[in-house]
Every structure is written in structure tokens, then in C-alpha cells.
Amino acid sequence: MNGTVTVLDKGAVRIHSYMSPADTFHATTQLIETPARIIAIDAQLSPAYADEAVAYAKGLGKPLERLIVTHAHPDHYNGADRFGVPVHVLPVVREQIAARPAAQLPGGLAIAATDLPGSVDITPGREVIDGVPFVFEAVSGGEAADELLIKLPDQGVLVAQDLVYNDVHLYLGNNDITGWQQLVDALAAESGYDTILAGHGAPTGPEVYDDIRRYLHDARELLGDDGEAYKKAIVDRYPAHVGPFIIDIANRSLFPAAG
């Protein structure tokens, strides 16, 4: 296996966080194991890493019931068809995915256009699966225009996905640092959640919020009007962070004239 898996035992639930290698900036698929099934959250950018996550899920000996896609960035939906299960998604996120044309990343990976055929609407609210309450919330702004937040209150688990990165460079292509700061402040104000699942990087705790606040503060200070200068400055400030390539992708949106 090229990726790595972190397993957290939460009583009635076990969390299996499949994290891709650094070449796709530690994108993380969450596999939520309830008493009778597996709920997957977010696919992978690379179909090969999606296959690894699916193979691991099948090895758990319970049916993989659904894949939830939290937002309209390709590193969270590009491998969705490899899961072979219904895709559950907020309607606004499905529309945003359908509006994205086929593309090729700077590294050469092709991103197909898709409207997630046969997908199932997620309605924000509470759903009980195998006796486990899941709370679905829609949030707007920040890392993506719209995103799904998932809470498992009985287990103290907050599935933040790309509202939180753990030791990975942030994608700023949505150009909404202020909105991201506000969302992080709102998450930090939540009580009862000691486990935070990141969309990039390993599971962490509430201390990650200060890390994200610091990075966003520094990014605002360093951004300027030159993408290459910004990349050098932020990488110099966070040399241990994974995924400087994600800065190149974001810079195509932040500095389109330079592309």
C-alpha cells in the first residue's frame, strides 16, 4: 500500500483514515465503520489511491454502503467511480462539480468532467445509521465555496475535511481567507469534539485550529501579487509542511494572468 491508514477506536464506531502519499498532498478518505457497514467520506485525486482505500475498506469485512463527497474539489471526487457505491452529496456541491470542465493538472493527471450520475441528495440534519447519530451541516466560504461538515457527537468526532489541513500547505484558490478564518473560529467554539478528521493529513485534535489560524494569518501577510514569490515565502516559513504542489494549483486561480 502506498498510502497509510490511521485507526481510531471510538466504541460503537471505528475510524479508518486512509491518507494518500505526499504526491497528492496527503488527501484523506475517512472510512467510518459502524456496527454493520462502512461509510466512506471523500474519494481521492488519484484513481490508484482510491483503489487502495476501497481495497482496505473491503478488507474490513462489512459492506461499503455509500461514499459521501464533501465539496467540489477534484482531490475529493475524482476517484468516486472506483468505490462502486451510491455517492451522497449536497445538491449545490453536485452542481459545482458538474460545472467543472475536464482538466489536466500541472503534473499531468487528467480530471474528467462528471455530474456524479445517480448520486443521492444530502439534506442537512441528523441521520442515525446503525444506532450512530450523524449530523450533516452545510457551510459556505473558506477553502471551498460550499462544503459539508459531518459530526458524530456521541463519539466526539468532527469530520472537518478541507476546513482543516494537518501539516499540509493550504489550498487558497477560493480566495477567501477571511471566510476560512471565520469557519475555523466557529469550529473551535464547538465543545465535545476531541477528534478532528482532516481532509489533508492525519487525524488530530482541537489544537489544529491554532495551526490553521497561524497559517492563514501568515498567508494573508505574504500573498502579495506574485505567485512564485508567495510560494517561496510560505514554503520557507513552513518547511516541514507537505504538498507545495498544492500552492501551484491554487496560484492558477489566484494569479490567472501569470498562468
Q: Per residue in 107-145, pLDDT tens?
A: 778 898 999 999 999 999 999 999 999 999 999 999 999
What gap in Å lies between CA 24 and CA 58, rounded to an integer? 23
What's the domain range around 222?
A: 4-122+133-258
Closest CA to 4 of 16, 24, 22, 18: 18
DSSP 123: P
Give me the CATH number covering residue 216: 3.60.15.10
**C-alpha atoms less than 13 angstroms from C-alpha of 214 in its C-beta half-sphere:** 10
Residue 128 lies in a domain: no
pLDDT band (50, 70, 90) for residue 193: very high
Count of domains observed in the chain: 1
- Whether 89 contacts 69, CB under 8 Å: yes
- Whether 175 contacts 253, CB under 8 Å: yes
Residue 185 lies in a domain: yes
Global pTM exceeds 0.75:
yes
> Which CA distances in Å does 118 have to 16, 40, 49, 74, 177?
26, 17, 23, 18, 34
